[in-house]
Structure 1
Amino acid sequence: MAADHAATSLTGQFCGARCRPIVSIMVAAWWRVVEIQPDRPVAFDRVECLLTEDSGLEGFSMLDRSTVDSLFPSDLPETQQWEDRYPTRVLSAGALVTRFCPSPTGYAHIGGLYVATIDLDLARHSSGVYFIRIEDTDQNRSVADAEDQFSRVFDYFGISSQESGDDTYGPYRQSDRELIYLSYVRELLRQGQAYLCFASSAELAQISEQQRTGKVPTGYYGRWALWRDRDPAEVEQRIAAGDPYVVRFRAPDDAAGQRTHFTDAIRGRLEHEANRNDAVILKSSDRLTRLPTYHFAHAVDDHLMRVNLVIRGDEWISSVPLHQQLFTALGFEPIQYAHIAPLMKQIPGGKRKLSKRKDPEANVDFYLQAGYPAPAVLYYLRGLANGRLAEMPLPDAMAAPIHLAECGVAGPLVDLVKLDDISADYIATIPTPELFAEILRWASRHDALLADVLQDYSRTALRALAVERDGADNPRKDLRKWSDFRQAYGFFFDELFTPLAGADDERLKPVGIQPELAMQFAEDFATHYEPSPDGAWFDQIRERASRHGFAANARELKQNPDKYPGSIREASQLIRVALTGSTRSPDLQAVAEVLGPERVIQRVRAIRA
């Protein structure tokens, strides 16, 4: 604990009720400091008097050190041991240490991926460090497989931690850091900057009800803070009885009515009402594992892990005053915060925050299951963070740095149509063998039948993917994500294709040919079909269409619609639907060449089924 930090209280240690302090002690209210000289004997009741008369804090009686220490393991390390174990990082000037801290109380949100992308980019471009810390202090709400999903997300999008294990600044899971938190909670209790609270749930509910009735701010403060200034004898009696308690932070006495400010890396100078609530910092003593709340845990963790930039959602802005108080009480250097605007969704009449409960695209699994390529998603998110990146080609945008100063204070809209376009453009640039490997990798996890088909018929798949792609100046963009493969290319495989069930099949209705004529034309085409070189292949359709009374082109049909049952266009669409099940497909001759004569004839004759 830093002994020279303003606004820390009792950072020295006392060896008895009346003794010489071991080090210089700073007794402080919020920004008001009284120094007690180390060469001057001081009675403990004199310290209480100073607190009352000079610091602006109300008089209170602290538990003696032996009582405080009895609440913790006898071998609990002192805070200085943790400070020594996690020294200041040796990094170049300007290097940023960032962290992404998902909580397993739910699945990964696309907003979390958005923040992690920024975290990682800023650390990389400043020659700093990026790591992931699992914030699992709220274990009652933990989702069983959330961390498994986190791992999939980290791996897929390339945002895995640059540090791990216990040999650096770990552990990187808060539930594994219990002893660290206990050391710092004990220190605050020793100093009188925290206290035990035995208030029951019923009492807390009654306080809230009274506050609402009286139309005053709810919270645990002032006269509502039942245990803030209780007689130590009563506290010790409750301890002896084994009654459960929480540990609360003692907010500065003069916080009510005060304003505090800080400079946000995105939003600039912000001002807020100072915190006056005595927040819980350590959860109930009746739990097997004593874990802190988020507020306290993040302060201790970010300090010891030597984080110097915290990027988080703007919903945390209102908590900054409390976090400032905690950092001051603990003697920690303050950390730069950057509060980022949330991702938004367009709705009729406006927009709202993207919701896990309402919007499937809020869950990162939506993108994994659909098979959006990671580079396309990351490129899109980078463009949401800094608009200039959206104007760059993908490789350039991925290499260019993200600037916090360019992050807006209004939440950017998540537009899946835009993401589809970006993804289609990206997929169109992938060489066919690599594209096949990506689809197979996705299918192996999300579509077992497709994976089996691709492995069994890899040559067919490669030929299918090459149609109108390999060597094309304007390659096809019918894949926006890996899950589109079934719809766009599944007809190349009998295992994924359902043949027509006769001339009345619903898929033939858009063609608009009478069933009897459709059957006659199909049989004629199948009977005389032969694989042919370029040009000659389509002549087969043209010749059969002419024999069955189809117009040579759409213009003739338009000029005399009663004379023709359709044009060459409808005749070719009849064959297209028979082969692919759709009126839209790659080049028909190329499709037929991949399918082979036997399957072409078989599928066309299905019109007569």
Structure 2
Amino acid sequence: MITIRTRFAPSPTGNLHIGGARSALFAYLWAKKNHGQFILRVEDTDRAREKVGALENQMEGLKWLGINWDEGPKKGGEYGPYVQSERFDIYQKYAAQLLAEDKVYRCFCTPERLAQMRQKQQENKQAPRYDRVCRHLSDDEIEKKIQTNTPYVLRLKVPEQGTVEVYDAIRGAITFNCQDIDDQVLVKSDGFPTYHLANVVDDHLMKITHVIRGEEWLPSTPKHVLLYQALGFSAPQFVHLSIFLAKAGGKMSKRHGETSLLAFRDKGYLSEAIVNFIALLGWNPKTEQEYFTKEELIEQFEISKLNTANPVFETEKLDWMNQHYLKKLSSGEMFTKMKEMISLNSDVALYKLFAEWFSGLSVKHQESIWHNLKERSKTLEEVAVNTMNYVNKEIVYQPQELIWKKSDQKTTIKILENLIEKIKEFAKEDFLVANLEPQILAWIKTTEWGNGDVLWPMRFALSGEKKSPSPFELAEILGPAETINRLTKAKESLNA
């Protein structure tokens, strides 16, 4: 029985994109469903575009999502090394084999000549591809250039006639005309392999059975099929995933908002929500179920249930799903997540402020505040914002804004004076919404005033806003001392 082996093979040229995370997740789910192995491989052949810290970002992102590799960097494995720059000798061996078997040829064209060629093709509205000038050099011409140390690359000899068929597990058979396929560079002039050679050699030697990647790689796949054939290898099963579309239209990119996986983490999204959300972008479980644990995803995932239609990445739906997972957390679990954010996030000022404030509350107050807060917070960032914005707010009162529409200045001053005295009756440990709301509403009924006469100036005094959480929630967040302080300042502004 064949062991299913999948891989995720990022290039360290940038941070892990949310779409790349989805590719890694699907590869991981398929391997785990079939009791196989998921491999992480670093494709660092593009040295010029490599960015410091990119690999660490990618690995951190996978770990955060719980996508743990069975073989790869810092873990090792039977088929290592798992970093392409450490496999240089392996690629040279296969490049030499291809050259000896006349499956590739040396191309001596300078960058200047190639640029001129592309310019002419563009002017003539032709598809950009190499014109195969060096493919037809004589042995003598080749030898002369080698003797004069003329730099060259190795290009794949794509058949000049015929077709190449690619079978994709979700798209079926796709036929490509050889005349439309470029003679791909396999080895650069510095001796480094390109992605195409290293990718094919590594997938074969690492016994990868399924290549699960984005559909942007589909045009390169006929080149890979031809290369598998040239090397005498059996090709793996190809699965090309749909791409994320922006709600505004077009492929999702940074102009539509943040796309880096860890940026979502730093904004306070939970890993469980991200995994659940991206799993449903391109995969249809054929059930009414919307929420999946990782274990349920492994159990139900099938390549046959992947869609070719490009899904729209809707942040609003992600927010809704994230809030679902937030609501399931106890106050203690939420606080643990918040402290994890502080340890992981480079921009931690807001989260630190929240942690310092929240840790100073009694467990009873933490639970009560969280009970109300999770109903109006979609992310951990919003949890912090929805509290710290009020706790640290400096309010400058405009007297007229404190007065309810059916009231007046003199009455509002009297209301605030009486409200302050009522607030003073509450012990600190009882300063909870569950106590404040019924007791203050009951007290209002004993007065000559209506709810609006009292609750409007109370809300505005505590928040400085016409629209805010209920005055009871605000009072609970601020505590008795600060609640009395703000009510007193509001009253004084009316007396001024």
TM-score of Structure 1 vs Structure 2, range by shorter chain: 0.7 to 0.9
Which amino acid in 2 is paired with 1:229?
A: H
Aligned residue runs from structure 1 range 285-304, under 5 A: 285=190, 290-304=191-205
Q: Distance in 1 between matches of 2:406 and 2:302?
A: 56
Q: 1:481 and 2:342 equivalent?
A: no
2:167 equivalent among 263, 268, 276: 263
Relative contact order: is structure 1 or structure 2 higher (C-alpha 8 Å, sep ≥ 6)? 2
Aligned residue runs from structure 1 range 419-430, under 5 A: 419-430=318-329
- Cα distance, 1:194–1:517 mapped onto 2, change above 3 Å: farther
Cα drift, residue 120 of structure 1: 0.5
Which amino acid in 2 is paired with 1:324?
A: V
Q: Distance in 2 between matches of 1:529 and 1:304?
A: 74
Residue aligned with 1:180, SS: helix
Aligned residue runs from structure 1 range 475-554, under 5 A: 476-490=374-388, 496-504=391-399, 518-532=412-426, 538-540=438-440, 543=443, 550=449, 552=450
Preserved CA contact (<8 Å) 2:204 2:233: yes
- Cα distance, 1:439–1:315 mapped onto 2, change above 3 Å: same
Preserved CA contact (<8 Å) 2:282 2:307: yes
Greater mean alpha carbon deviation, residues 93-102 or residues 324-333: 93-102
| 1:135 match | 43
1:537-580 superposed Cα distances (whole Å, 9 cap, x missing partner):
65546656986x64x3xxxxxxxxxxxxxxx1352133234335
Q: 1:249 and 2:143 equivalent?
A: no
Aligned residue runs from structure 1 range 42-121, under 5 A: 93-121=1-29
Greater mean alpha carbon deviation, residues 529-538 or residues 236-245: 529-538
Q: Distance in 1 between matches of 2:318 and 2:480?
A: 39
Residue aligned with 1:136, SS: coil
Cα drift, residue 152 of structure 1: 2.4
Residue aligned with 2:39, SS: strand
Which amino acid in 2 is paired with 1:385?
A: G
Cα drift, residue 366 of structure 1: 2.9
Q: 1:178 and 2:88 equivalent?
A: yes
Which amino acid in 1 is paired with 2:483?
A: V
Q: 1:218 and 2:131 equivalent?
A: no
| 2:277 match | 380
1:306 equivalent among 207, 211, 214: 207
1:367-412 superposed Cα distances (whole Å, 9 cap, x missing partner):
1221100001111111223233672443374453221111111101
Q: 1:205 and 2:107 equivalent?
A: no
- Cα distance, 1:581–1:447 mapped onto 2, change above 3 Å: farther
Tell me the TM-score normalised to structure 2 length.
0.86
Cα RMSD (Å): 3.1
1:104-159 superposed Cα distances (whole Å, 9 cap, x missing partner):
22222111011111110000000111111122211212222322321321221112
Preserved CA contact (<8 Å) 2:5 2:36: yes
Give the count of matched residue pairs: 479
Q: Distance in 2 between matches of 1:208 and 1:461?
A: 70
Which amino acid in 2 is paired with 1:500?
A: I
| 2:99 match | 189
Preserved CA contact (<8 Å) 1:198 1:227: yes
Which amino acid in 1 is paired with 2:264?
A: Y
- Cα distance, 1:103–1:540 mapped onto 2, change above 3 Å: same
Q: Which has the higher helix share?
A: 2
Q: Distance in 2 between matches of 1:518 and 1:443?
A: 43
Which amino acid in 2 is paired with 1:156?
A: W
| 2:481 match | 598
Preserved CA contact (<8 Å) 1:137 1:175: yes
Preserved CA contact (<8 Å) 1:499 1:578: no
Q: 1:280 and 2:185 equivalent?
A: yes
Preserved CA contact (<8 Å) 1:503 1:518: no
Residue aligned with 1:579, SS: helix
Preserved CA contact (<8 Å) 1:541 1:572: no
Q: Distance in 2 between matches of 1:463 and 1:291?
A: 63
Greater mean alpha carbon deviation, residues 134-143 or residues 416-425: 134-143
1:305-356 superposed Cα distances (whole Å, 9 cap, x missing partner):
1101001111222222211110011111111101111011122xxx321113
Which amino acid in 1 is paired with 2:154?
A: V
1:61-103 superposed Cα distances (whole Å, 9 cap, x missing partner):
xxxxxxxxxxxxxxxxxxxxxxxxxxxxxxxx35321111222
2:139 equivalent among 225, 232, 238: 232
1:276-301 superposed Cα distances (whole Å, 9 cap, x missing partner):
5321110113xxxx321111111111
Unaligned runs of 5+ in 2: none
Which amino acid in 2 is paired with 1:292?
A: P
Residue aligned with 1:419, SS: helix
1:454 equivalent among 331, 334, 355: 355
Q: Distance in 1 between matches of 2:262 and 2:407?
A: 43
Which amino acid in 2 is paired with 1:243?
A: T
Cα drift, residue 593 of structure 1: 5.2
Cα drift, residue 188 of structure 1: 0.9
Cα drift, residue 604 of structure 1: 1.4
Q: 1:332 and 2:233 equivalent?
A: yes
Preserved CA contact (<8 Å) 1:491 1:580: no
The structure with the largest alpha-carbon Rg is 1
Q: Distance in 2 between matches of 1:462 and 1:398?
A: 35
- Cα distance, 1:438–1:118 mapped onto 2, change above 3 Å: same
Unaligned runs of 5+ in 1: 1-92, 553-567
| 1:431 match | 330
Q: 1:353 and 2:247 equivalent?
A: no
Preserved CA contact (<8 Å) 1:425 1:477: no
Cα drift, residue 210 of structure 1: 4.1
1:477-516 superposed Cα distances (whole Å, 9 cap, x missing partner):
2221110122323267xxx42143224498x699897666
Tell me the TM-score normalised to structure 1 length.
0.71
Which amino acid in 2 is paired with 1:326?
A: L
Which amino acid in 1 is paired with 2:155?
A: R
